Amino acid sequence: MVNRLSLGPALTLGGVGGLILYLVNFYGFTALFPWFAMARNWISIFGHIVFGLAASGVYVAVRRHHAHEDMHGGASLRERKA
């Protein structure tokens, strides 16, 4: 979903995605795993949001790195220095 977004919107979407993942994990799966209800707290919410931010941020960084390599003929930095 963050494929064509710039960093700011990608991070926003990642944070929202982490929050949705929290809701699915701690409210949806509670029917199968009742002990998940005990872990519903702000730390779990925060951890899921940070995960979403990190995942989307890394995706954007990797995408930019590959775009940069494509602009330079696909050669790595080590190959260009040699």
Tell me if 2 sits within 8 A of 60, measured CB to CB: yes
What is the residue-wise DSSP string for the chain?
Answer: --TT--HHHHHHHHHHHHHHHHHIIIIIGGGT-GGGGGG-SHHHHHHHHHHHHHHHHHHHHHHHHHHHHHHTTT--HHHHH-
Domain-wise residue ranges, the chain: 7-81
What are the pLDDT digits (tens) for 8-65? 999 999 999 999 999 999 999 998 999 999 999 999 999 999 999 999 999 998 887 7
pTM: 0.76
Residue 76: its pLDDT value, please? 56
Confidence band, pLDDT 50/70/90 cuts, at residue 80: low
